[in-house]
């Protein structure tokens, strides 16, 4: 039964069905990464704005780095409730797919950034950020997790394996308080 479900998911999702093309994502072409993930992000009102390889030790851009930094931003107006609600949905789009697709990755992070018209800085502070290592990714069933469950797992994990940041307006969002999502 599990094999049948996995087979259906692989056919239904181009992200999951994708075969590894190399050990690392292309360092000089974030558009390639966007083409892979934007179709899954679009229904959430998001798109990939930046993708880069970084050194896992320094988190500086490095074409041979084993840490993939991804940034997604809204395509239109977006509320704190949407950032909260979509945190785990965004995580499930990328996990565990990025590690399956690129076996050379040691870790990755994904930041949800504010809409450019709200914060026009070239690198706006994230509204949310999930940082996870290959080992940390194996600890969670991403397609069935909530923001609060991921935060709880992060509190009991090594920070390099799993880390969560959520901006104050999202934490104060009324539906988050006691929602379980």
pLDDT in tens, 134-172: 999 998 999 899 888 999 999 999 888 999 999 988 888
Tell me what pLDDT residue 175 has. 60
Question: Considering just the CA atoms, what is the radius of gyration of the chain in Å?
Answer: 16
Angstrom distance (rounded) from CA 82 to CA 170:
9
Torsion from C-alpha of 116, 117, 118, 123, nearest 10 degrees: 30
pLDDT in tens, 59-103: 899 999 999 999 999 999 999 999 999 999 999 999 999 999 999
Examine the pLDDT at 2 and tell me if it is beyond 50: no
Tell me what pLDDT residue 136 has. 94
6 pLDDT tier (thresholds 50, 70, 90): very low
Tell me what pLDDT residue 19 has. 41
| Domain range annotation of the chain | 2-176
Angstrom distance (rounded) from CA 174 to CA 158:
29
CA dihedral for 96, 140, 83, 56, sign (positive or negative): negative
Tell me what pLDDT residue 16 has. 38
pTM of this structure: 0.82
Q: Beta 46-54 vs 162-166: how paired, if at all? A: unpaired
Number of neighbours of residue 60 by Cβ within 10 angstroms? 10
Q: Which is higher by pLDDT, 87 or 8?
A: 87
Query: Pick from 41, 49, 37, 119: which is nearest to 86 by CA?
Result: 41
């Amino acid at each position: 039964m599990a094999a049948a479900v996995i087979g259906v998911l692989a056919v239904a999702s181009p992200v999951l069905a994708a075969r590894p093309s190399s050990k690392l994502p292309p360092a000089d072409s974030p558009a390639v990464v966007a083409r892979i993930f934007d179709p899954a992000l679009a229904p959430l009102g998001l798109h990939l704005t930046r993708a880069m390889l970084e050194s896992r030790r320094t988190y500086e851009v490095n074409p041979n780095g084993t840490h993939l930094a991804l940034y997604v931003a809204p395509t239109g107006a977006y509320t704190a409730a949407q950032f909260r609600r979509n945190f785990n949905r965004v995580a499930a789009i990328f996990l565990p797919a990025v590690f399956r697709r690129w076996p050379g990755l040691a870790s990755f992070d994904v930041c949800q950034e504010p809409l450019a018209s709200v914060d026009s800085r070239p690198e706006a502070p994230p509204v949310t950020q999930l940082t996870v290592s290959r080992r940390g990714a194996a600890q969670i069933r991403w397609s069935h997790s909530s923001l609060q469950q991921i935060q709880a797992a992060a509190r009991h994990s090594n920070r390099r394996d799993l880390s969560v940041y959520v901006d104050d307006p999202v934490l104060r969002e009324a539906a988050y308080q006691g929602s379980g999502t």
